[in-house]
Amino acid sequence: MVIAKEPVNYREKEFPMTDKDFQRIAGLAGRYTGIVLGEHKRDMVYGRIARRVRKLNLNSFTRYLDFLEANPQQELSSFINVITTNLTSFFRENHHFDFLIQKVLPEIKRKNGQVKRMRIWSAGCSSGQEPYSIAMTLKKFGIPSDWDIKVLATDLDSDVLAKAQAAIYSTSDVDGLDESTVKNYFQRNDGRKEVKIKEKVSEYIHFKRLNLLEKWPMKGPFDLIFCRNVVIYFDKPTQKVLFDRYADMLAVGGYLFIGHSENLHGISDRFENLGNTIYRKIR
């Protein structure tokens, strides 16, 4: 026997949230971040925005939204931070980093041997595990010390960027990494359950807050771009625009890495699919 799930009454929860409130939140999220909030995201939206309602000592979502729209300079950044999703780990989707070592970095080393320059972008870097994993991979591969290497790491959320720049993580964040990686690239804080990224890794990385839907200040070209588990929150027209802009930023033959649940089918014809959510720019 299947028991039907009772619908959630958002008017009877801690803070009332009407259908109109949810529609206003979805509209603001779309306008400022490009994220599409469907009805299935309603529980998530309630839980996250309730934090701000509580912190500001308000008593409803309507009052919070009125406050947000009247005080965007004060509250908009916090609204964006709670709406955006930040889930990441070191060497997540490890096959991408294997491909860097085996294919991409040897190719770039040959192709850019004269200029000795490499540019990488981690778009949607969250709390920093992705760009640090890229930098560790560069160290493992052994790019010569006289190369000019920069890893640009951007995110919309200023809170997670601050965490990324601090380069301090819980010891649980490095559970599962091989001991040589932890020993070579992390510094343990004695008596504390924390590790810090070593300076030889962080020296490559430049963090910057960036809204992907606004103007990009960098010029490129990049040799490779990581944009993983970011576009799943955007609608198809926005994805098409975004991937076209990524193609503009990549050198011909440059690589694009996307998330395991994403693909470019019907989105862009400027890349060839190499499998395992890895693409190469062809035009």
- Per the DSSP assignment, residues forming a β-bridge with 187 are 196
Contact 130, 259 (CB under 8 A): no
Verify whether residue 48 is a known catalytic residue: yes
CA angle 197, 226, 103 (to 5 degrees): 90
Please count the CA atoms within 13 angstroms of the CA of 216 that sit on its side-chain side.
17
User: Which one of the listed residues 155, 157, 223, 270 is annotated catalytic?
Assistant: 155
Distance CA 128, CA 247 (A): 23
User: Which one of the listed residues 48, 92, 188, 280 is annotated catalytic?
Assistant: 48
Distance CA 63, CA 237 (A): 32
Residue 22 phi, psi (nearest 5) = -60, -40
Buried b vs exposed e over 250-261: b needs ≥16 C-beta within 10 Å? bbeebbbbbbee
Distance CA 79, CA 65 (A): 10
Any idea which residues carry the catalytic annotation? 48, 155
